[in-house]
Amino acid sequence: MKLRAGLLLAAIILHSGVAAPAASQPLTLRYGQSASTLRSIFSLPILVAERQGLFAREGLNFGMVMIEGGEDKTVQALHDGTADVSHVAVNFLVQAALNGSDAVAIAAEFNNPIYSLVAKPNIQTFADLKGKLLGMAVEAGTISISMRRLLAMHGLREGDFRTRIIEGTPTRFTCLTKGDCDAVPLGQPQDIFAVRQGFRLLGLSTEAVPDFLYTVTAARKSWAEANKEIVTRYVRGLAAAFQYIRDPANRAGVAQTIEDSFGSTEGSAQRVLSLYFEPERNVLPYRAEINMKGLEQVIAMMGEAGTLKPPLPPAQRFVDLQYLRVAGVD
């Protein structure tokens, strides 16, 4: 009788949800992100997770913290107490770690960004960029490295054009449309907006670079170790967001998020998703998994740019994969 009563009680607890700590014990997580990222497609996984209640389902009281400045500041925010985890481009994470930060990647957000080199309507070819002003991202970043490779493929070298450092796709889009820049690299959906306004698409970053890991969620290793349950819940929620985005049945819902978040039209949002998935271009992770070969490629690109000196550091130094494993992400 006691055994039967115990089993019955266990069944009641299981089905009532009393045993689900995610539902009864919400935990707070502050996620740091730059304003320019929030206005770009690179915030899509987080926006979907919030909009679909995937973090809330994991028992997270998720809050976004806007970080002023470039993505190097989002690593700094982990150290000054502004954020618990943050969105960061891998090259900034590597630089910070080599300078003494204990920040590591705990999950992937974007793998292979597709940046379009978009120019004024009167610029017909790459050759027309000689002597022109290009609005570029930071010199040592993967965007600039891929753009310079693309330019070199078409016969343009250092000194053939002028550059101005402009952080963030939205800001570069403004520079182009106001006429201050002759050409700029743009992410989605701003590249689609620009082409529809008559600006000229010259080429894509993916023509010039192999697959690499672009942005991750980072946390200080010391903080993550002390808050394993929070980190694991976050990783599960993020993994669910990628599954939602990738499910063809959710295409309309994902497109709606893009439209609402970035001012896209329905056609523009669908074009972004078609660009990513028709055919599959490995732009997004499947479940927030970290592509170690993609991380190695970033390190190699930084070495090529002179940001890192040989011997190049191992990729394993910049990640902590335990939370992905505990969350069931292989």
Quick: pLDDT tens for 137-156. Answer: 988 788 999 999 999 999 99
Same domain, 308 and 251: yes
pLDDT at 24: 58
Position 31 in a domain: yes
Q: Which of 207, 234, 259 is at the close of a domain?
A: 207
pLDDT band of 293, cuts 50, 70, 90: very high
pLDDT band of 265, cuts 50, 70, 90: confident
pTM of the model: 0.87
Position 11 in a domain: no
At 158, is the secondary structure helix, strand, or coil? coil
Question: Are 79 and 220 a contacting pair, CB within 8 Å?
Answer: yes
Q: Which of 173, 207, 241 is at the close of a domain?
A: 207
| Number of domains within the chain | 2
Determine how many CB atoms are found less than 10 A away from the CB of residue 243: 14
List, for residues 96-134, the tens digit of each pLDDT value.
Answer: 999 999 999 999 999 999 999 999 999 999 999 999 999
Same domain, 316 and 231: yes
Tell me the C-alpha distance between 42 and 216, whole Å. 10
List, for residues 197-239, the tens digit of each pLDDT value.
Answer: 999 999 999 999 989 999 999 999 999 999 999 999 999 999 9
- CATH (domain of 272): 3.40.190.10
Specify the range with the lowest mean pLDDT, choosing from 33-37, 42-46, 104-108: 33-37
Position 6 in a domain: no
Same domain, 106 and 232: yes
pLDDT band of 18, cuts 50, 70, 90: very low
Tell me the C-alpha distance between 243 and 285, whole Å. 9
pLDDT band of 72, cuts 50, 70, 90: confident
Domain that holds residue 96: 21-112+212-326
